Structure 1
Amino acid sequence: MRRLFPVTDQTSADRAATAPPSPGPDGDREWTFDELAEAYAYPPLAAGAVWLRGNMVATLDGAAQHGGRSQAISSAADMRIFGVLRALADVVVVGAETVRREGYRPARARAAFAQRRAAAGQAPAPAIAVLTASLDLDFSAPLFTSPLVPTLVLTGAAAPSERVRAASKAGAEVVIAGEGPGADPARAVSALAERGHRRLLTEGGPRLLGQFVAGGVLDELCLTVAPLLTAGHAQRIADGPELPVPARFEPVSLLTEGGFLFCRYARADAPWISRDQG
């Protein structure tokens, strides 16, 4: 792993003014979990504030999947970062289609991050929150029957009542965050924050990320660019209504390993310094 940005000759004051802490030593080697955790640390949050981070992978020609799954365009380094981002989050937010397609399981507690999570007042592992309108999910799956932290199901007031009862019976916490059959993205973020989940991570799929982008609630994007070309008709990383004006994001860091680029962008108005530690 090598860091390409920010450049290492920046002063400490310059780095503090543009991004959260980055690991010190650079070089083409495998970084430790602690170094990656520092490189991807959430910004300090003011009381009541919430930060929604997206994590996606795409090929050079913009495909978010190959053969219907993202694993085919990932790498070992991408999966290490994937695990670190999970370990830093209070909750991982996913869409129902991604749960079905990727065979989602509960997040696990990791010894390497136990002390860091305890110091931040976090549960041993992040909760999983599933956004769904139909609640067409297998409630006998481990995601619902054996999570370390109860799984949340975010839906709307008009969701099928029998499926809502099935989710509750399976042990999931059903959260109503919309008036229609599905959850409203902004209300979903607020509902999670009300439950103490302020460091949010969404891993997809593209439709869910597109909803968060359209709703104006995405604060950060961690994008892995794979050195692969796939052609075909796979989705982009965000699939949803087009914004009237494109949202501007600024680079926070750029890492590389094995030809893969690991990009971190934050919304252009992110107040990195003005927030108090939460």
Structure 2
Amino acid sequence: MNEIQLKNRFLNFLNLNPGNDFFGNSSKHYEKYIEIKNEALSRKFDLVLAVCKTKNIKKKDIRNSIIEMDDDLKNIFVRSTLLKTISESYKINIEKIALFPIEIKSDKDKLDERLANQVIEAILSFGRSIVILDSKHSSKIIKNGLSRILPSTLIGYFGETDEFAVINRHDRVYSDSLLNVNKMHLIRTLEKTDYQINVTKLYNNLRRIQSIHQRLIYNQIFQSGQNLLEDEVIFMKELSSLNLKINVKKEIIKTIQQHKNYKITDFTE
């Protein structure tokens, strides 16, 4: 099969098997799959699916600060422009939409370094990545044990049964933070200093910086013109007033100086 044939076969399989678990636990109950045909998207991804959930989201659950928000709800904030467009075009409640960028690799395609770049771009754009592999690629990647290397959910096509199945699942969604700073690790790091720092405020601001950064990247990739909130602009203004006086070159030289007197005979494994 070529790429288009593999894509169409996958879409047909989805519609015939609504209880699949390709996009998470099958208990999430997805009701329909919509291929997003958008010029900006189609140049970058083989397929972008809007997956629509049946479960209703209660506003009180979103407001409840104790409950950690669903990653797809966070995407409403980070990637609002595209989600608003899809919601209005297809008359779907915005909170029910989950977006999945998909790379399709038929057996006529080579698996090379481009795939890693495509996965990274998918994560930067949508916070997640899915790769569909044709039968030969699926067999090879299972045999050589490389299926867990990519931060991507891999779905393989198996010609003997004419079915698609998950080879490796990567459930993490990079919705509001690419690095997910661990609060406890942050506390331990700051304990080594003599400064009195409000860790909770610092932690929230670090997450805010990453959220703004991710939205700026999204705007850059898709030229979506998604505006920053007024509070974010004020936050960035305050941030710009700080002058972090770190001489990167000086620190590099200092580190080299501290570790330059080792001899080749000192090397140990």
TM score, norm. by length of structure 2: 0.26
- Please tell me whether Structure 1 or Structure 2 has the larger radius of gyration of its CA atoms: 2
The structure whose residues are more often helix, as a share, is: 2
More relative contact order, 1 or 2 (CA 8 Å, 6+ apart) = 1
Q: Which has the higher strand share?
A: 1
